[in-house]
Amino acid sequence: MTIFEDAPAQPHGSPQSIGASWMSAPYPVVVADAGGRIAEANAAAAALFPGAARGAALEDVAPHWLADAHRRTAGRELAAPVRSVRGRHRSLTLEAHPTPGADGDVVWWLVDDTDRLLAESALRNEQERTAFLAETSTRLLASLNVQRCMDVTVRLAAENLADAALLVGPANGRQHPLASSVGGDATRQTTARIDPASVPGLGEALQGFPPVPSRWIDPSALPEWALPEGFAGPVGSVVVCPLPGHGVPAGALILLRRSDHAAFDDSEEVFARLFASRAGSALSAAHLYSEQTSITATLMADLLPPALRQVHGVEFAGGYRASRDAERIGGDFYDVHPGAGPGEETLAVLGDVCGKGLDAAVLTGKIRNTLHALLPLADDHENMLRLLNGALLNSSHTRFATLVLASVVRRGGQVRLRLTSAGHPPPLIVRHSGAVEEADTSGTLIGALPRIRAHTAHVDLAPGETCLMYTDGITEARGGPLGDTMFGEARLRAAVADCAGMPAEAVVERVQLLAADWIGDQRHDDMALVAITAPQQAHLTAVDGHTPGRYTA
């Protein structure tokens, strides 16, 4: 305790231990005796408590919490610990520190603690809001699903910002997607035809304009669709916030509070906009991801290899494995274009584009589409390949391709094929006896030379015999005990020799299994297979005669 050297004489009743220095203290100081009457009060205390004159009862001029604290403190032993107390007086928050005297008097030092408490309260609120915004970002960015983001947005808003929240998405035609939650409970999502102009500020928010102050919105004028199901009681205040997105608005958020709750103040409106900005960014990212996923799925649908089946009495089976397990498309491809009728040729194509990945897959798509357009010319393979070569030479890319064309038709129990290779390994013919032959076809690759040549082979398949077309991803697959040996044509021939008499699907599955075992977890090229098999003739009488594999011999 500071004691001034030129301090005035000690006032009556003041504790001996502190002298009279409190008289010049900048803080209010009141000295009360053991009976609760004021002995002295400095000028600051007199200004704070106008009736604080000598002899006045402390409880009459000071707040009750100070009088109660004086009754507990006066008369205590000096060695006993004393505690400060805090309470409100008018608009101030005061902290009173007692100093007991030997004669039972107590000097109460009063400190205005209002600003510190307000600052602490503001800091605590900001910390809570910052933590909430961090949680908001974490939960919103946990998913790129649009419905999930809408669900999280209205739940968080209804739990932390308002009594209920309604999210209005951008119009899809004449319908607006809506999501609502009351008190953070389960959300309700639907679409409805609404009039945004019926809610002040909503139309502007959906166009990305700044929000209007909540005091401009008449809660009683809200349309019925703007009140979430389960919201009880009249609306007391409304806030409409835009949800800003990446270039275009992601929607708008309507916050509702009941009339028995405090209305939104300015700081809460600002905080609601901060929340809306995060929700809008997450929703916009989810919309963008959904759109890109839809586009990718549409484009990939034409790039994926088709599911093969029996066509006009001939079995077709295909197998494909991209060079990377995470990819579904690559540079190898196959297609089967059924003939118009049982007596018409079916065109099967298997090809290999130079390169891997998406760029190669895009070129395979172009080749497949071009061949589809050239189907009317399929009776002349060389002419068909010449036209395809011209189309690829006129493109801007520098890639080339190899492929095999197979025109297939069934004549009685036999299956006749016209096989034409364009720089591709010739197909293997697996006879019923287990002998494996190589089709006598050859030609130049496509997309590299101005002129091409091709030689077509004619092959007949007896029942149970198979023509296997494959890409070099099978024969050049490196693996084995040391991991650096190619699978090779000899192993392929041995593998298919064991498949004599098997259905087309079984042939493809066996070759794929052997190749996969050979490479193990080694890197490999795209691998594609197409098997064309003449079905066995004597079908069981209990079936319709067309089910694959149901035969007696």
pLDDT tens digit string along 167-210? Answer: 999 998 889 999 999 988 888 899 999 999 999 899 999 998 98
Phi, psi of 101 (to 5 degrees): -105, 170
Q: How many CB atoms sit inside 10 A of residue 47's CB? A: 11
Distance CA 329, CA 526 (A): 9
Q: Is 416 exposed, middle or buried (0-12, 13-18, 19+ CB in 10 A)?
A: middle
Calculate helix-pair angle for 266-303, 114-140, nearest 10 degrees: 10
The phi-psi region of residue 313 (left if phi > 0; otherwise alpha if psi is between -120 and 50; otherwise beta) is left
Q: Which two tokens stand for residue 60?
A: 């009459």
**Predicted pLDDT of residue 8:** 44
Distance CA 33, CA 40 (A): 9
**Predicted pLDDT of residue 192:** 92
Q: How many CB atoms sit inside 10 A of residue 391's CB? A: 18
Distance CA 352, CA 323 (A): 12
**Predicted pLDDT of residue 520:** 86
DSSP, collapsed to helix, strand or coil, labels residue 179 as strand
**Predicted pLDDT of residue 208:** 87
pTM given for the model: 0.66
Calculate helix-pair angle for 357-373, 266-303, nearest 10 degrees: 50
164-168 and 235-243 beta bridge pairing? unpaired
pLDDT along the chain (553 residues), means of 10: 39 49 80 90 90 90 92 75 88 91 86 91 91 91 90 94 94 92 88 92 90 88 90 90 89 94 91 94 92 85 84 93 74 91 92 81 87 93 94 80 95 93 95 93 92 94 95 90 88 92 93 92 87 78 49 44
Q: Which two tokens stand for residue 414?
A: 């036999």
CA distances from 204 to 170, 208, 218, 243, 273 (A): 12, 6, 16, 11, 15
Phi, psi of 398 (to 5 degrees): -115, 15
**Predicted pLDDT of residue 20:** 61
Distance CA 431, CA 414 (A): 13
Q: Which two tokens stand for residue 445?
A: 């690759």
DSSP, collapsed to helix, strand or coil, labels residue 170 as coil
**Predicted pLDDT of residue 78:** 64
Distance CA 106, CA 218 (A): 57
CA 15 to chain centre: 72
Calculate helix-pair angle for 114-140, 146-160, nearest 10 degrees: 160
Distance CA 521, CA 536 (A): 37
- In this structure, are residues 259 and 284 in contact, taking their beta carbons and an 8 Å threshold? no
Distance linking the first and last C-alpha atoms of the chain: 115
Contacts of 125 by beta carbon, 8 Å cutoff, 6+ apart: none
- In this structure, are residues 441 and 510 in contact, taking their beta carbons and an 8 Å threshold? no
**Predicted pLDDT of residue 164:** 95
